[in-house]
Amino acid sequence: IKTIGVLTSGGDAPGMNATIRSVVRTAIARGLRVMGVRKGYNGLIHGDIFELNSRSVSDTIQRGGTILQTARCPEFITEEGQKKGAQICKVFGIDGLIVIGGDGSFQGAEKLANLGINTIGIPGTIDLDIACTDYTIGFDTAVNTAMEAINKIRDTSTSHERCSIVEVMGRNAGYIALWCGITNGAEMVLIPEKERPSDEEIIREILQNKQRGKKHFLIIVAEGVGGSQELAVKIEKVTGIETRATILGYLQRGGSPSAVDRLHASMMGALAVDLLCEGKSNRVIAYKDGQYVDYDINEALKMTKTVDERMYEVAKTLSI
Ligand code: F6P
């Protein structure tokens, strides 16, 4: 391996820059050239590629977003797009490519590996929805951002004795919602991994909660469950309790990465380069039981995981 490329793909996540920085500096320390690919696989297909040096990543460890920018690229799902990508890698002399993103991005990396480009995936998404790993870069920052925002909603919710519904991101996974449910002390958490209580059950809980002397009712809804606005209207209509829905949205994806994200980013970025130097390909990096490990991408994509039952139970118990 002489030259490696690095790209970020899919939704951005805090800590992606810290990952790029680690990849670039580790590679340079190992005597490799590094090429940055702009806008994910889209940039790869169009040859939007430039050389990076140690200074290119100065002053980036603390920045949210991704300096390489990112995109979702439908063209890369096609065989033609993938061949084009592999061809461009050859034109630029890229013999190893590090892909920072989620499952969709790793599928692309697997295709490139089959076409002779050594690839390594690094899990970068706020959703924590990559089965092979206990941690995905961006999650900690996103949860903290959501938690801070929900603290503020909680203040005003208590003052007005309202019911507040807050919808958080996570695509089809409920990790952000469950973590916020516990750390914000929510009265209820709705996540896609668990059967949704009926509207009637939710309303009964709200009324019982009021009888217990609580001054607000906070419901965290995962994006994968949705329907926050409609639920708010129904609750207010049936109970007479003022109810407001807030969809936190993209503020959860931005911001300076937390220490946890910077650390995982730095460790995973360095490991990805080392794996390429060892001649490995078609691997994805994971943090498993406190260790940084790597898996075959095909195997990793077949794995499944779900939210921690105990966490869900504790969230319920502490809401009384
Ligand atoms: O994967 C990160 C994420 O923010 C999800 O939580 C959300 O479902 C999705 O990306 C939104 O994607 P887009 O940026 O394409 O709207």
Q: pLDDT tens digits for the chain (320 residues)?
A: 999 999 999 999 999 999 999 999 999 999 999 999 999 999 999 999 999 999 999 999 999 999 999 998 999 999 999 999 999 999 999 999 999 999 999 999 999 999 999 999 999 999 999 999 999 999 999 999 999 999 999 999 999 999 999 999 999 999 999 999 999 999 999 999 999 999 999 999 999 999 999 999 999 999 999 999 999 999 999 999 999 999 999 999 999 999 999 999 999 999 999 999 999 999 999 999 999 999 999 999 999 999 999 999 999 999 99
The pLDDT score that the predictor gives to residue 14 is 98
Whether 125 is in the pocket of ligand 1, judged by its Cβ within 6 Å, is yes
* CA-223 nearest atom, ligand 1: 8
Assess whether 127 carries a catalytic annotation. yes
Q: What is the pLDDT of residue 90?
A: 97
Q: Which atom of ligand 1 is nearest to the CA of 252?
A: 4
Known binding site: residues? Answer: 11, 21-25, 72-73, 102-105, 125-127, 154, 162, 169-171, 185-187, 214-216, 223, 244, 250-253
Q: How many CA atoms lie within 13 A of 312 on its CB side?
A: 12
Q: Answer whether 96's CB lies under 8 Å from 119's CB.
A: yes
Residue 190, ligand 1, Cβ within 6 A:
no
Kind and range of the H or E run holding 220: strand 217-222
Cα dist from 283 to 57, 215, 311, whole Å: 25, 51, 30
Give the 3-state secondary structure of residue 7: strand
Task: DSSP letter for 134, please.
Answer: S
CA atoms within 13 A on the CB side of 146: 36
Name the residue at shortest CA distance from atom 3 of ligand 1: 11
Calculate how far, in angstroms, residue 240's C-alpha sits from the geometric centre of ligand 1: 34
* Atom from ligand 1 closest to the CA of residue 169: 6
> How far does the chain reach from its first CA to its final CA, in angstroms?
58
Q: Is 30 in the pocket of ligand 1 (CB under 6 A)?
A: no
- Catalytic residue chosen out of the listed positions 127, 129, 261, 294: 127
Written as six digits, the tokens of 190 are 């709705």
Nearest CA to ligand 1 atom 10: 11
- Judge if the beta carbon of residue 192 lies within 6 A of ligand 1: no
- CA of 12 from ligand 1 middle (Å) equals 8
Contacts of 135 (CB under 8 A, 6+ apart): 123, 128, 264, 287
Distance 1 CA to ligand 1 centre (A): 34
Q: Is this structure's pTM higher than 0.95?
A: yes
Give the number of C-alpha atoms closer than 13 A to the C-alpha of residue 88, restricted to the C-beta side. Answer: 23
pLDDT for 263: 98
**Amino acid 194: pLDDT:** 98
List the structure tokens of 176. 């952000």
Residue numbers in the known binding site for ADP are 21-25, 154, 185-187, 214-216
Q: In what order do the strands lie in the sheet with 49-52?
A: 49-52, 33-37, 3-8, 96-101, 118-123, 283-288, 291-296
User: Which residue minimizes the CA distance to atom 12 of ligand 1?
Assistant: 11
> Which residue puts its alpha carbon closest to atom 8 of ligand 1?
171
Helix ranges restricted to H, 46-193: 79-91, 103-114, 139-159, 175-183
Taking the CB of residue 31, how many other CB atoms lie within 10 A of it?
9
ipTM of this predicted complex? 0.98
Query: Which residue owns the Cα nearest ligand 1 atom 13?
Result: 11
Residue type, 222: A
User: Please, are residues 21 and 261 in contact by the beta-carbon 8 Å criterion?
Assistant: no
Q: Look at ligand 1, atom 16, and give the residue with the nearest C-alpha.
A: 11
Instruction: Give the number of the atom of ligand 1 that is nearest the alpha carbon of residue 72.
Output: 15
Q: What pLDDT sits at residue 227? A: 98
Instruction: Give the gyration radius of the chain's Cα atoms.
Output: 22
